[in-house]
Structure 1
């Protein structure tokens, strides 16, 4: 499976990431205190006249510019308090080449106009750059970044681990996965995450701040229900289609999700082993699968209200927005609608009977001298 196939659904269609990213928005809101702390750290330690900010795995949607807006507003507020001149901002938006960069660029004028309207005083000039490419490699020059942010991207591996095809009937880790498959997933995570840290260590200046949020787990078992259940339920839908002759059994036996949900200790171990960063904070949080449990805080179109009440629909659309390109590349476009119709029914049933949550890991790092 090619890494370029791992991207969110583009455009503004019903199954697009832009229309199904409320869950990710809630997670971003949970990590605001970390970003506030990072902005203060950066300002107190080194505030350059030109501030370079990178969002890794930016995608396209209402969340794309949310963190960038917060960072700029936070820096401007500190500048006002300390009577300093505003810096200029260089904003780098990174994602894989399949990302909908065209719509990202089209949204920039509206974003800048809104940002100017929301600020009480004039802000420094803002320059935006699209940076297509995998963050599992070098994507910026040496010593060029001051603030790096990534949310809900680093659980994606650079590739399906070697040996994962031994995981028959599953599409991710489960309690029935062979031990060699579990070890292969962990090995791939260690390889990818350590390389990610080495690359960023070269690109960040001394004192630079980096906040990473990814799906993870609290327990020690990487095949526990806590982190694997969402894909286990999709495997149920796919296996039902195999039994009915809609999908070939070989297809599901050779399909594996390139994710890994680490524990806090696994993340900490890689950071310490790499050695270039100070761990300021490592936090664990949870969000319900039903992202609309706080729906009163958000505005929705009235005509969408009926479908939005269906927990299974919401979760199926959320997963479809992030996983459809992978499924299409492997199973073909003709069966996608049926896969997600079945998945929706399974999700609706399980979510009505169980408390279902995602576990998030958020880490704030400072680049060492």
Structure 2
């Protein structure tokens, strides 16, 4: 499990951009928004299954793990609330009260979420004499690669586009040279260290949730992954290689030190589907109900689109990647130059038809 100190250091140099910035996650999270819409049907079926089996308790406890900040969060919560109320209406049952916990690392911009709550409560907490169906939202900061909630206190966990982030940079990556992630020029040792870190982290995630959720409780999780065994086969790996090239160019120009690139690697891993399912089976606390996958294009929704003149495809992709993390250990003043170079690389080597990432969605039930 990642310690509080290691989580703090990780969030110091790698974090979502806060919501009041031009390159903020809130303003550049269309990819994550699309992932949410694609998972909606599985979310609905899971909620219907809960209602059909045992029904809802008087207070239904839900957590959104790795919620980040921006409009997507309350959109997810709204979808869950709407579906629960609709199911209860169809079955002519009283809707449960909802305790909704939003989780992310300590440095997350929870305040921007709280500022949106008055309007949210005005819509969903319409006064009722019996208080049925009211929702109450709170924040639970901390790493989801460890315990967050009281034992057997939770009924439903949801996480979207978060579990590909590792608890820490794998130890022993000193030989990854001028790469910042798994690349074609990385040694087999690098691939194995990343794989083992994901295996350790995802196992800890499942063990922690197993302690916190009731028997029969459910989880719906999505994360970035890859279609094939080859860890360098997906577009995320290719894009991050182009980002590394941009850093190397800046080192040649004296804007960053080459030694800084040698010592930097990203704490993320895009697993092959079989890796995810194998860990679930080995850990043994959850039955695997649904496994699906889909592509998400960076530049649009369901299918490739024509290259637009303004902004360029590269600039769009650079904004999305930059919103996900700021490499502040290279200095905040270098970020504009870095992502400008990166955008040019994307325009040169990638196209809207190819620039995508592969998402895995799973639905689990606590055994």
Query: Shared fold (TM-score greater than 0.5)?
Result: yes
Counterpart residue number, 2:347: 348
CA distance in 1, matches of 2:349, 2:235: 14
1:186-212 CA-to-partner distances (Å, cap 9, x unmatched) read: 000000000000000011111111011
Offset of residue 334 of structure 1: 1.7
Offset of residue 354 of structure 1: 5.7
Assess, with a 3 A threshold, how the Cα gap between structure 1 residues 354 and 34 changes in structure 2: closer, same or farther: closer
Offset of residue 39 of structure 1: 0.5
Assess, with a 3 A threshold, how the Cα gap between structure 1 residues 144 and 306 changes in structure 2: closer, same or farther: farther
Please state whether the residue corresponding to 1:65 is helix, strand or coil. Answer: helix
Counterpart residue number, 1:162: 171
Counterpart residue number, 1:42: 50
Q: Contact 1:93/1:131 (CA < 8 Å) preserved in 2? A: yes
The 5 Å alignment of 1:141-220 reads 141-220=150-229
Q: Contact 2:299/2:352 (CA < 8 Å) preserved in 1? A: no
Assess, with a 3 A threshold, how the Cα gap between structure 1 residues 355 and 114 changes in structure 2: closer, same or farther: same
Offset of residue 225 of structure 1: 4.1
Offset of residue 294 of structure 1: 8.1
**TM-score using structure 1 length:** 0.91
Counterpart residue number, 2:366: 367
Q: Of residues 15, 18, 24 in structure 1, which corresponds to 2:26?
A: 18
Counterpart residue number, 1:105: 114
Assess, with a 3 A threshold, how the Cα gap between structure 1 residues 353 and 111 changes in structure 2: closer, same or farther: closer
1:72-120 CA-to-partner distances (Å, cap 9, x unmatched) read: 1111001111110111000000000111011111111122224469xxx
Deviation larger for 346-355 or 240-249:
346-355
Unpaired stretches in structure 1, ≥5 consecutive residues: 297-304
CA distance in 2, matches of 1:35, 1:349: 39
Offset of residue 55 of structure 1: 0.2
* Matched positions, count: 352
CA distance in 2, matches of 1:282, 1:107: 33
Counterpart residue number, 2:315: 313
Counterpart residue number, 1:302: none
Q: Does 1:9 align with 2:8?
A: no
Counterpart residue number, 1:270: 279
Please state whether the residue corresponding to 2:210 is helix, strand or coil. Answer: helix
Q: Does 1:249 align with 2:251?
A: no
